Structure 1
């Protein structure tokens, strides 16, 4: 697909075509399946980039800057040389950026920071007098993981539980005590508690943090479809393939 078509796609999506140009383009889409397929792909590119990178603001700034440059260049050109409209430069440049970033996105591996969003801890019930447990809960929920590690270590002696161990493992992973975190997750994963699938998922994150992609996929395939956050499992597995 040549660049002129990409520019046309971009103009159409930005509503820059005149009514006759818009009708002609839509007629072409109905009669040319290859063009229509390419246009659908291009729309998906725009959607994904707007979702992830918010390109609209950058696009407007780029167009304004390049329009100014093209005007300056036009003044210096011999009048016999045909110059392109300012928008052509900016559209071509923005399309290049769109396609370049999309290419990077398509070829980049997922990263730990895309997935390390955790449910808040809710250990402390009404009437619970454990100040240490409350401190661990609050530190974790406020992402103060170094503090949470210390509090959880105290809690594990005072009031041990599988749930506390799971959150302790997460805090260890967040402060890069990875092998200690693994030693927490593995027994939970192999056990029979209601936290076993969550332990498997966090073990996946641990492997992802170390860029051990094959290990990630292996563990992901062991998580059952009834896991409450199975959509994340499917998404990560898809992005790793």
Structure 2
């Protein structure tokens, strides 16, 4: 989800990632345009706050100032002292940012981001599957690093083309990396079959059409999802928004 990517970006900028997470983020940001935008916006906001809070000081003083605000109890008026106007200004800025990012935010009009399947990739040992590769694929997939997950899933899918689980997650990774026609070619046989992933595939195909703004095709596929399917509620909501 989009909010997860914003938090991920914040953790990266603030240095709150271990080495593996940092490398994974830097790999993703090379390919994911929305992460690039979040990184640019976050850095601009971060720099703007620094200019207002400590215009002539170095980064250490800026961090110390923020830390002092964070640790300062609101009830201790005497300790707040002359910092109160600055604190009020900071509070106003943060309130404005929250309104922009969480209420008005233009990405909330992006229906694909709202309705994309954010479930984790759950795996179980299967005959004929390289489980080490599959575990790595699941790790990347669940981190939403689809560019790293895709080649691992592709390898396993090509070795096991009748495995609906592999086909579904591989198809989803293709959608997330904008290989939409290829994704539909992988997902259509799943929908035509009788596996547990039948309606997952229908929902994914619908979202693949949504991603390139083919709303009528999106509706057609959403309408294939029956009332007892897990995806039905989301499908009805999305149809009403198209």
TM-score (norm 1): 0.52
Q: C-alpha displacement at 1:157, in angstroms? A: 3.8
- Aligned partner (choices 211, 224, 229) of residue 213 of structure 2: 211
3-state SS of the aligned residue for 1:227?
coil
- Aligned partner (choices 134, 159, 169) of residue 171 of structure 2: 169
Partner of 1:13: none
Distance 1:217 1:109 in 2: 17
* Alpha-carbon contact 2:164-2:190 (below 8 Å) kept: yes
How many corresponding residue pairs? 140
Partner of 2:114: 114
Partner of 1:60: none
Q: C-alpha displacement at 1:165, in angstroms? A: 0.3
- 1:164–1:214 Cα change, 3 Å: same
3-state SS of the aligned residue for 1:188?
helix
Provide Cα deviations, 1:176-212, integer angstroms capped at 9, x if missing partner: 1111001011111111212111100001100110111
Runs of 4+ in structure 1 displaced over 2 angstroms?
Answer: 108-111, 157-160
Distance 1:230 1:111 in 2: 16
* Alpha-carbon contact 1:124-1:133 (below 8 Å) kept: no
Partner of 2:226: 224
Distance 1:223 1:157 in 2: 28
Partner of 1:192: 194
Matches within 5 A, 1:57-72: none
For the aligned residues, what is the CA RMSD?
3.0
Distance 1:207 1:129 in 2: 32
Q: C-alpha displacement at 1:229, in angstroms? A: 2.4
Runs of 5+ consecutive residues of structure 2 not aligned to the other structure: 1-102
Distance 2:122 2:182 in 1: 23
* Alpha-carbon contact 1:188-1:195 (below 8 Å) kept: yes
Runs of 5+ consecutive residues of structure 1 not aligned to the other structure: 1-100
Provide Cα deviations, 1:155-187, integer angstroms capped at 9, x if missing partner: 124455111100000000111111100101111
